[in-house]
Amino acid sequence: MGRTLTAACFFLLIASTAFAQTFRGGIRGIVTDQTGGVVPSAAAKATNEATGLSYSTTSSTGGEFVFADLPLGEYTVAISKGGFETFRINGIRVSAGAIYNLPVKLNVAEISASVEVSAAAVAVETTSTTLTNVLSTRTVQDLPLNGRDFSQMLALTPGFSGYEGGGSASMNGSRSNQFNWQIEGTDNNDQWFNIKAVNQGGINSIPGVLLPLDSVEEYSVQTQAAAETGRNPGGAVNLIIKSGTNQPHGSGYYYNRNESLSALSPFAPVDAPKNRLRNEHYGFSVGGPVRRDKTFFFTTYENQNFVIGNQALATMPSREYQAAALQLLKQYAVPINPVAQTLLSTLWPADTLAGPASANNYFNPTPQTGFSHNFLVKLDHSINDKNRLSFRWFIGKGSQTAPVGSLISDYFQVGPMHVQNYSLVHNAILAPTLTNQVLVGVNYFNQAFSDANTSFDPVALGFNTGVNGRDLAGAPFLSVTGFDPTGVSPISGRIDITSHVSDTVSYTKGKHQMRFGGELRRVRLEEWGAGGGNNDGGRGNFFFNGTQGPWSGLLSVPGYDTNIAALADFLAGYVYQSTILSGDVRRLVFQNLFNVFAQDSWRITRDVNLNFGLRWDFEGPMHGGQQDLSTFDASKGGLVVVGQQIENLYPRSWKNLSPRLGFTFQPNGREDLVVRGGFGLFYDTPSISPFLDQASLANNGAIGVEANPAGSKPVYQITRNGYTIVPNQAIFPANISVSGNNVINLFSVSPDFRPAYVTSFNLNVEKSLGRNAIVQIGYVGSRGHHLNIVRNINQAAMGSGFVKATNAAGFTFQQQSRPYFSQFPNFGVIDQLESIGISSYNSLQATVRTRNWHGLISQFSYTLAHNLDEVSNATTLPQNSNDLEGDYSNAGSDIRHHFGGYVLYDIPGSSRGPAWLSHGWQLNTNISVRTGFPLTVRASSDTSGTGENTTRAVQVADPFQGLSHAVVSGESVQWINRTAFVNPPSGSYGSVARNSIYGPGYAAVDVSLFKNIPIREAYRAQLRVEMFNIFNRVNLAQPGGRVGGGLGRIGDTIGDSRGSPGIGPGEPFNVQLALKFLF
């Protein structure tokens, strides 16, 4: 039955459905005569001015004509009808996802005649309710982008909230992974995180591979869209690739930057030499005809190489810190543990231990490095005047080494990457009012991670974790609160392949422009090690936080440096909490995703247009075929295996209907003013990592449904808390089983889990100011429902961790306090993925755009917004899993004010001096200014006693009292008064609200100056000087958020803290020089 249903759905898709997000554009108009009456059966012809390819249709009985799914470019449209003058307009720009509205009035012809006009530089969108932000070819090519990463252009879209680099941001209140990334309509999503595949960060934010900017025709972002847009509620980001034309065109370029033209990091030690900042890009692009007016090609290649010195400070257990901790041991007559002493001298290199006993006491000059090779080819072929083909293939390979989670060189992360994205598109004109488009594409993503040094053998050091085997080689994860950890990157990775098929039908009848659509995606994902840069527990996780020794009372003393107490616990061998994962976590999983839609754009009158539609999404549950995924269900005896006791991890959802409704109204009856509004429901495709990669959860539960002790490949997450390390003695039991007093952590998926959805709504006004400028202002809001969250459904009782008693079976008091202990005494943490989260977003958004106004192209946008939720992602636990409402507060992406914009200006030539010197200059800017991100101040230790490690602090004073926030070279910045927050009393939660404190704001102005030098006709050289953060404004990272010596301290810039030092947005002033040859 299942196969029959699948085959039937696939047949319907191919036979009668349409694509889900248009990556092309269109032209729509109504033909009238001098009296205002409609003119049916008028011949309409659109000709691409670069390729010569033409498209024909006729006006309907209502005078309407539509050219759907046109390749991007400049078009000339001619309208003719017997007895009327021929109307011809040139320079119509067709952009991705946009319909150019063209009202045509035909005059009666006394003799054969024609009327020719030029299109306006900008035009008000009078029929669509989709909010679209399009960056043209010139904008993409000339905008100063730090690192040449296309994802940075997302910050120019109204409603943006996030860091300007890396593309990880919120849009109109969405979560940061709720975008649908596409390359010419083809899936460009890594389904693991549901973020972009091409240009995804190799390690943190610097892309592992790069789509060359010289290949991009347009960059389009659509939000609040019609029924044809779906998959994710945050919007669709589409990159349109250049094509060959009848006129050969291309470029060759070399970009270079060097520390000699950069400012020193404000946190580098005084008198320190500049860190290396070497980044170069070189490549070419070329396109042209294979056969004029018939077949065209375009290809491009780009290489990137970078070497970037570290700019950050870290806190290490220096000898002075050790002396302070040893003094505590001496004071309380506690001996030093020999294993801890050996670990400290072996896993922490000697040079890391030379600093003072203070926060940010270590600076590591070891650079991060990386390279990538990127190639793209595109072929376009016109079979005949009714059938066209387009093939595109991108491939990128690279590798990076960089610090992640620790500034100790041995634990730098190494991350190779290989990405491919290719598609074949067929466009057919079936009738003058009926077109069809078929797309077949594949997205391939392959990435791996490991520590730089995996030679450590903890068993040989007397630390008997029981770990052996090549796949688990290296240091265990040792976390001493306040200090950089060891062993942060176990061997891990994934191969993610998405196959994508879609088909498009567009039909015009009377005053209706109808589209019918759908698509099928098949995801195949193989992962190993999980974690993707986080510790998955295979080598063991060990935590020391100062709560286990007789000095634990010092943690509640205001202003006390809690790092000392944590280090004392470590030197004494007092382990607060430890876990280890045993078993094979490699998994192969699949997802089937399908949708269909129908929508109509109905021009009720010349001034009123109604857009309505309905979409249905099927988000198939993640599944495998080897009975190696399991979840917890108390009603079915505990752990149940997919393919045995249950069919799927969660029920299939068949009711995901998404209505869309919008209107446009021209109150003055002209084309220069429009009021539009819209409402829509948008479902979110669940990503895979929340099911298989929860290694970063603070309570150290199982990493996912592959890590439970059940099924064909049982995996055991063993927990042992509150003990002292004994030399060479096995820390974890050799006979791992769910028996005796062994405690096993689990991961579960709620049987009521369902895909999240967001309701979005907007009301705005758009007004043209002449032919070259447009202003738009309005309200945009959203409400999130059934958002993914994780909570511990077997959370221990408050204060239970401080009771040292055990029962006759050897179970701790904390374990006995868990809700499921009586039924499942061996089950500890049971983190469960649920769909019960909510969010609320309200904003005022304004935009001003100009095109070709006295040589000026610009856009400026401002957003005033407030975003609320309970949890901002599915990898963070609430403070109290039994009180989710207690975490409802400012969202992690709640930026109240954001201003972004750009200017491209052709400087007028002077009549004075030689033309070669006074002509050909161009000035460009990229501007971003915003307020800061919120952060949550947490206790230095688990004062709640639940083992969740999510306790918030208690505020006792003004958090900013007496602070200037001044930046002093070589010193960290104290952003928050650390005495304003203390730990809650033992056995209680903190009272400070989640995300109640705001970190530093951000401002950067990037400027580039070009000099164009003509060589001969159609050939020119271009010299570029690109200056990033020209005013050298210090853009600070987020402050430390835990009670203790590091609370409120900032020892890094925002770009470096997010993995793009020097070449990320907002980094200290630096200059990039380039030479470009264009034809």
For residues 800 and 784, give the distance between their C-alpha atoms in angstroms, rounded to a whole number: 35
Confidence band (pLDDT; 50, 70, 90) for 131?
confident
Q: Over 70: is that where the pLDDT of 370 sits?
A: yes
- What average pLDDT does range 775-797 have in this prediction? 98
**Of residues 22 and 862, more confidently modeled:** 862
Over residues 60-90, the pLDDT tens digits come to 887 888 888 888 888 999 998 887 888 888 8
Question: Please, are residues 899 and 860 in contact by the beta-carbon 8 Å criterion?
Answer: yes
Q: Over 90: is that where the pLDDT of 124 sits?
A: no
Confidence band (pLDDT; 50, 70, 90) for 8?
very low
C-alpha R_g of the chain = 30
CB-CB neighbours of 1066 under 10 Å = 25
- What average pLDDT does range 927-949 have in this prediction? 96
For residues 233 and 180, give the distance between their C-alpha atoms in angstroms, rounded to a whole number: 8
Q: Which helix (H) or strand (E) segment is 511 a member of?
A: none
The position carrying tokens 């084309």 is 671
Q: Over 70: is that where the pLDDT of 727 sits?
A: yes
- Which residues are bridge partners to 158 per DSSP? none
Q: Which helix (H) or strand (E) segment is 580 a member of?
A: strand 574-582
Q: Over 90: is that where the pLDDT of 340 sits?
A: yes
Q: How far is CA 791 from the centre of its chain?
A: 23
Report which listed range, 253-257, 528-532, 1060-1064, is most confident. 253-257
Confidence band (pLDDT; 50, 70, 90) for 13?
very low
For residues 64 and 602, give the distance between their C-alpha atoms in angstroms, rounded to a whole number: 11
Question: Please, are residues 993 and 878 in contact by the beta-carbon 8 Å criterion?
Answer: no
CB-CB neighbours of 107 under 10 Å = 12
**Of residues 740 and 1066, more confidently modeled:** 1066
* Neighbour-count burial for 782-820, b at 16+ CB within 10 Å, e otherwise: bbbebbbbbbbbbbbbbbbbbeeeeeeeebbbbbbbbbb
Confidence band (pLDDT; 50, 70, 90) for 469?
low
- What average pLDDT does range 306-331 have in this prediction? 92
Q: Over 80: is that where the pLDDT of 502 sits?
A: yes
Task: Give the whole-number percent of the chain exceeding pLDDT 90.
Answer: 69
Tell me the residue type at 925: T
Q: Over 50: is that where the pLDDT of 511 sits?
A: yes
- From residue 292, alpha-carbon distances to 241, 298, 502, 1019 in Å are 20, 14, 29, 21
Q: Over 60: is that where the pLDDT of 112 sits?
A: no
Phi-psi sector, 700: left (phi>0), alpha (psi -120 to 50), beta: left
pLDDT given for residue 115 in this prediction: 57
Q: Which two tokens stand for residue 1023?
A: 């010299």
For residues 485 and 465, give the distance between their C-alpha atoms in angstroms, rounded to a whole number: 17
Q: Over 80: is that where the pLDDT of 95 sits?
A: yes
3-state secondary structure 939-964: CCCCCCCCCCCCCECEECCCCCCCCC
Contacts of 353 (CB under 8 A, 6+ apart): 316, 317, 318, 319, 322
3-state secondary structure 323-391: HHHHHHHHHCCCCCCHHHHHHHHHHCCHHHHCCCCCCCCEECCCCEEEEEEEEEEEEEEEEECCEEEEE
pLDDT given for residue 116 in this prediction: 60
3-state secondary structure 79-133: EECCCECEEEEEEEEECCCCEEEEEEECCECCCCCEEEEECCCCCCCCCCCCEEE
Q: Over 70: is that where the pLDDT of 6 sits?
A: no
pLDDT given for residue 168 in this prediction: 76
- Hey, is 44 helix, strand or coil? strand
For residues 90 and 986, give the distance between their C-alpha atoms in angstroms, rounded to a whole number: 75
Average pLDDT of the chain? 90
pLDDT given for residue 120 in this prediction: 58
Question: Please, are residues 151 and 179 in contact by the beta-carbon 8 Å criterion?
Answer: no
pLDDT given for residue 14 in this prediction: 31
Find the range with the poorest average confidence among 97-111, 227-241, 404-418: 97-111
- Which residues are bridge partners to 447 per DSSP? 417, 494
Tell me the residue type at 969: S
For residues 936 and 1041, give the distance between their C-alpha atoms in angstroms, rounded to a whole number: 6
CB-CB neighbours of 851 under 10 Å = 19
**Of residues 848 and 82, more confidently modeled:** 848
- Residue 923, burial from CB neighbour count under 10 angstroms (0-12, 13-18, 19+): middle
pLDDT given for residue 770 in this prediction: 87
Q: Over 90: is that where the pLDDT of 917 sits?
A: no
Question: Please, are residues 55 and 429 in contact by the beta-carbon 8 Å criterion?
Answer: yes
pLDDT given for residue 208 in this prediction: 96
Q: Over 90: is that where the pLDDT of 1061 sits?
A: no
Using alpha carbons, select from 140, 137, 142, 138 the residue that is nearest to residue 151. 140
Q: Where are the alpha helices (DSSP H) in 513-616?
A: 562-572
DSSP string for 757-770: EEEEEEEEEEEE-T
Q: Which fold has domain 2-132?
A: Immunoglobulin-like (2.60.40)
Confidence band (pLDDT; 50, 70, 90) for 3?
very low
Over residues 136-166, the pLDDT tens digits come to 999 999 999 999 999 999 999 999 999 988 7
- Which residues are bridge partners to 378 per DSSP? 298, 392
pLDDT given for residue 7 in this prediction: 37
DSSP string for 868-914: EES-SSTT---S-TT-GGGG-EE-TT--SEEEEEEEEEEPPPPSSS-
DSSP state letter for 636: G
pLDDT given for residue 948 in this prediction: 95
- The reported pTM is 0.88
Q: Which two tokens stand for residue 551?
A: 């000095």
Q: Over 50: is that where the pLDDT of 585 sits?
A: yes
Over residues 287-305, the pLDDT tens digits come to 999 999 999 999 999 999 9
- Which residues are bridge partners to 1024 per DSSP? 1010, 1074
Using alpha carbons, select from 1052, 780, 1057, 767 the residue that is nearest to residue 898. 780
Question: Please, are residues 700 and 537 in contact by the beta-carbon 8 Å criterion?
Answer: yes
Using alpha carbons, select from 1047, 904, 990 the residue that is nearest to residue 137. 904
pLDDT given for residue 1002 in this prediction: 97
Q: Which two tokens stand for residue 479?
A: 């976390």
Question: Please, are residues 122 and 851 in contact by the beta-carbon 8 Å criterion?
Answer: yes
How many CA atoms does the CB half-sphere of 150 hold within 13 Å? 32
- From residue 518, alpha-carbon distances to 234, 271, 597, 662, 917 in Å are 19, 62, 6, 21, 56
For residues 361 and 384, give the distance between their C-alpha atoms in angstroms, rounded to a whole number: 70
Over residues 943-987, the pLDDT tens digits come to 999 999 999 999 999 999 989 898 887 788 999 999 999 999 999
For residues 326 and 508, give the distance between their C-alpha atoms in angstroms, rounded to a whole number: 81
The position carrying tokens 């030379």 is 354
Laid out side by side, the sheet with 25-32 consists of: 64-70, 25-32, 99-105
Could you give the dihedral angle defined by the CA atoms of residues 624, 629, 634 and 636, in that order, rounded to the nearest 10 degrees?
50
Question: Please, are residues 184 and 241 in contact by the beta-carbon 8 Å criterion?
Answer: yes
Over residues 171-189, the pLDDT tens digits come to 999 999 999 999 999 999 9
- Hey, is 1032 helix, strand or coil? coil
Q: Which two tokens stand for residue 820?
A: 């499921």
Q: Which helix (H) or strand (E) segment is 685 a member of?
A: none
Report which listed range, 105-114, 395-404, 538-547, is most confident. 395-404
Find the range with the poorest average confidence among 95-109, 549-563, 1008-1022: 95-109
pLDDT given for residue 118 in this prediction: 61
Q: Over 90: is that where the pLDDT of 37 sits?
A: no
Contacts of 866 (CB under 8 A, 6+ apart): 841, 842, 843, 890, 894, 896
Task: Give the whole-number percent of the chain exceeding pLDDT 70.
Answer: 95
Find the range with the poorest average confidence among 206-215, 498-507, 714-723: 714-723
